[in-house]
Structure 1
Amino acid sequence: MAYKYIGKFDPLKNEQVRIMDENGKIINKDLMPKINDEKLVEAYKLMCLSRTQDYYQNKQQRLGKILSFLSSTGQEAGEIAYAMHVRQGKDWFLPAYRNNAAWLATGIPMKNIMMYWMGNERANIPPAGVKNLPINIVIGSQYSHAAGIAFAEKFNNKSDNVVLTTTGDGGSSQGEVYESLNFAQLKKLPVIFVIEDNKWAISNPSSNATAALNFAVKGLASGTPGLKVDGNDFLASWGVFEEAFDYVRKGNGPILIELNTYRLGAHSSSDNPDVYRPKGEFEEQEKFCPIIRMKKYLVEKKLWDDKKQAELDEKNQAFVEKAFEEAMASKDYPLEDVFEYMYSEMTPILKEQYAEAKEFFNKYPESKDGGHH
């Protein structure tokens, strides 16, 4: 496979792969990836579904039906692009906590995602054939896990499986990120490292996360090639990840991909970005919304229209509401689940904590909130 992007765009010059402008117009025809119309429409539908789910879950959180929630709003293009390249039953996906669109695209049922945000850890168990690790709240540690799994895959000589993991701009400051890049390059491991630069780590801007030119340069000291791509441009993201999977699968070692994107929503459902985000920034960045750009592109290609959009919106809303009802019916879990996940047998301290919690909820059953502990 002749590469259009890898080795052609220099992160040290802050070069970025971009194919479409904010109006969905193709500005770099030579960089167009090979992707058929069916895949384009499928990707767009997944992006819209995730956005509908985000909006709905945020409303339900405000009603107290979800404990917390971190949405993918604004980051759907890059996530869908890499997730659609993850082969079910073969490749691994190790997420962070802001990867709703990617979870859907890799085969995690929406009901499970909702149950997790309701507090039910059993929702983290993936369906058969889906090689996703659970949602990772410990920032940056998924990079270490990815390097470890990729190390194991390399020992399996018949395997051409790839491991993909992702973190944010703030997460890139963790020491494990650099250690993992170094180890993966030393051992030439089949892992794709992604940094989704959405410009804000809670209220901390990217400029406080690094003094480097960009995040794609982070791997160079370890010998790991880096590539910066417009993460709100689905076509560019698709093409870059198509090459990245091929590059890694052929035994070239790891690669680091920076998705230059923007978090259109809040950090979490308990956050108010208006407190710290400069006035006018959201409005300026909304012009680059991946869904708006993708829709304009599809309309121009006569693959989409307002009637199809209205039908999709109605279908998605009904699907999301049904999934939420199913999640609510399955949200309850036994108290011991909180204490039994860490070790094969509970330690003495955990046993004490479990006994104390059990006594508390027996005394104050109304505190369970319908099963949440």
Structure 2
Amino acid sequence: MAALSTVKAAEAPRLLILGGTGFLGRNLAEAALRRGCRLTLLHLHEDKSSLVQGATQILADRDKSLPSSLNGKDYDYVVDVSGQKPAWLEESTGRLQGCGRYLFVSTISVYDHSRGPISEDSPLAPTAGIKVDTIEPANYAARKILCEQTVQKAFGSRALIFRPCVIAGPYDATDRFTYWADRVRRPGPVLGPQSPDETVQWIDARDFSLFALEALAAAREGVFNVAGASTRFGAFLEMLKPALPITWVPGDFLEQQQVRPWQDLPLWVPGDGENAGFSRVDNTRAQEAGLRTRPAAETARDTLLWRDEDKAPLRAGLSAQREAEVLKAFKARNT
């Protein structure tokens, strides 16, 4: 099949996105429409149907049942960004068996991160004895692993599994990356977690989307870690704003102050113990297959342009007042 950027209308691939109105799905849908795909979205939210213009839309609750209208469909590609339960994948892969290729969006959380740096061949987290019929954080890895296996069993060499790290960019309601993009534009010293040598990793949703479309067009198969480069936290903040005043606060002091990794200081996961490999994910296979990533400053700029339209407080990270309190306490300890 011709590259997606050069197809004529009559040759335009038929793409079904299971999802498509949230964060990653919306970026993927917009990229697909720009590439000329004949796009169908299957999603739950009637109130979001207007967010993506130019696509056929099907409303369905995957916790109940997919519509019978999908039976026998032969889309060129299916991209599943909403699959959360193995039972959902059993149904969707069965109903859509006539489709060309099935890309399932999984997560790097499927890995056993205690073993250090991660590649696609690294050991996975355990699944034995874990119930996966409900959606909760404790069974997230097991659910995604079993979903992957369901797709691979059903589609074989036509299956494509993407395991992304933290995804950033416009429409990101988690505000994890956005916290830092917003923080560096405000005055005052920034509270940095632990040391500048801690690592952080992200992928722009638009880079993910372009890679997904190109991988489908190129008939890629197998598993890919879809991530940007593992980056030192100090270098990451420097990318967002050069010459930034940063106070690096040790992890033990942050713990005393009840400052939590990830929730209070987003993207930071201490790089030892059970999390030794979390931000050390090898993306070589994806890069060799065509993944390209944009600069962090570009992701930050575009995310803030979108986020500034929403006047609600950030959903992640320390408040300015709490950050100042912790920095004051740290300074007092050292004087």
| Larger fraction in helix | 1
Same fold judged by TM-score > 0.5?
no
Higher relative contact order (CA 8 A, sep 6+): 1
Structure with bigger strand share is 2
TM-score (norm 1): 0.29
